[in-house]
A and B are shown apart, each in its own frame.
Chain A
Amino acid sequence: MFVLSGYEYLLGFTLVCSLVPILALTAAKLLRPSRRGPERRTTYESGMEPIGGAWIQFNIRYYMFALIFVIFDVETVFLYPWAVAFNQLGLLAFLEALVFIGILVIGLVYAWRKGALEWS
């Protein structure tokens, strides 16, 4: 039994996707002129010039965005089976999912009111 039935397209796309960076980098290596210099080793060729190292301590407020993202990510995991089985579940399940989302919207409103989504 082919357990991957229905995943042939995923397999094909995975193969194509893994070929794309290899081909792009190989073609670029073949085509580009090879030049050395200090400008070549900078992070962005035409952007801001970076000063200092990248190993600094970042602001703690980034972490709160990550935490809020994790909460809603886990919510997605719970809602995904509901979305897949939506046609076979009916109205009651729709209302129950609305309750689920509503409880989390309270959290979103709380985060919003507390200014957790803003960069003050």
Chain B
Amino acid sequence: MNLAEGVQIVSFGLLAAMMLGAALGVVLLSNVVYSAFLLAGAFISAAGLYLLLNADFVAMAQVLVYVGAVNVLIIFAIMLVNKREDFTPIPQAWIRKTATAVVCAGLFALLSTMVLATPWAISTDATVPSGSMVVIGKHFFTDFLLPFELASVLLLMALIGAIVLARREFLPDLEEADLQQTMLTLPERPRELTPAGSNPGSHSK
């Protein structure tokens, strides 16, 4: 084993460990904000794995779209809907937990048998010599030109739809008071002027 292969294997191990840890954290942590940020960690690890597979465009798109956009949307959605509540424990929660565990274990077993049973055709030569990005760019402007331009129209539709849905005049009137309330209770207020020499940390709220 030469140096390059060693580096590759070590990188794969680190990325896989990061991914497993982040994914477990997403599921197991009770604070949903931590879960959202750990999801970004899992996405970044997946991008690293794509890089190890020589798929640079997919890795770039993964970072840009999933970490940059999807995760931002998830965090914003958490900020919008999340109010801290005291949840009462469900009676006989162990039945649900057992059912979930059985379903998840079955899914895992199914997927692992599929992974082990599939005869993976591993190509030994690099079919895309250096940079799949250039090849993708050429395809975009020759035989995939129409989908490329249609993607722009699709994005335009998404943008206009988002604006139409999110504009104030389409919100029901009963939320007016709530919105006003939310704006007024942003959690900051100017610090009172304390006389010189007094301990600024002593006054409590």
Number of interface residues of A (CB under 8 A): 69
Q: Which residue of A lies closest to B134 (CB)?
A: A85
Chain B nearest CB, measured from A112 CB (Å)? 10
Find out whether the CB atom of A60 lies under 8 angstroms from the CB atom of B137. no
Which of B51, B72, B166: most chain A Cβ within 10 A?
B166
- Determine the distance from Cα of A71 to Cα of B153 in the docked complex, in whole angstroms: 11
Chain B residues in 8 Å Cβ range of A62: 76, 79-80
Find out whether the CB atom of B141 lies under 8 angstroms from the CB atom of A64. no
- Report if A58 contacts B (CB, 8 A): yes
Find out whether the CB atom of A49 lies under 8 angstroms from the CB atom of B191. yes
- Given A63, A73, A88, which contacts B65 in the complex, CB threshold below 8 Å? A73
Chain A residues in 8 Å Cβ range of B137: 81-86, 89
- Determine the distance from Cα of A38 to Cα of B202 in the docked complex, in whole angstroms: 7
- Report if B29 contacts A (CB, 8 A): no
Find out whether the CB atom of B126 lies under 8 angstroms from the CB atom of A1. yes
Q: Which residue of B lies closest to A93 (CB)?
A: B141
Chain B residues in 8 Å Cβ range of A9: none
- Determine the distance from Cα of A94 to Cα of B151 in the docked complex, in whole angstroms: 17
- Given B133, B152, B167, which contacts A84 in the complex, CB threshold below 8 Å? B133
Q: Which residue of A lies closest to B145 (CB)?
A: A96
- Report if B160 contacts A (CB, 8 A): yes
Find out whether the CB atom of A67 lies under 8 angstroms from the CB atom of B155. no
Find out whether the CB atom of A63 lies under 8 angstroms from the CB atom of B4. no
Chain A residues in 8 Å Cβ range of B202: 38
| 10 pairs, A vs B, C-beta closer than 8 Å | A11-B11, A55-B83, A77-B65, A80-B60, A83-B137, A84-B134, A96-B149, A99-B149, A100-B148, A107-B159
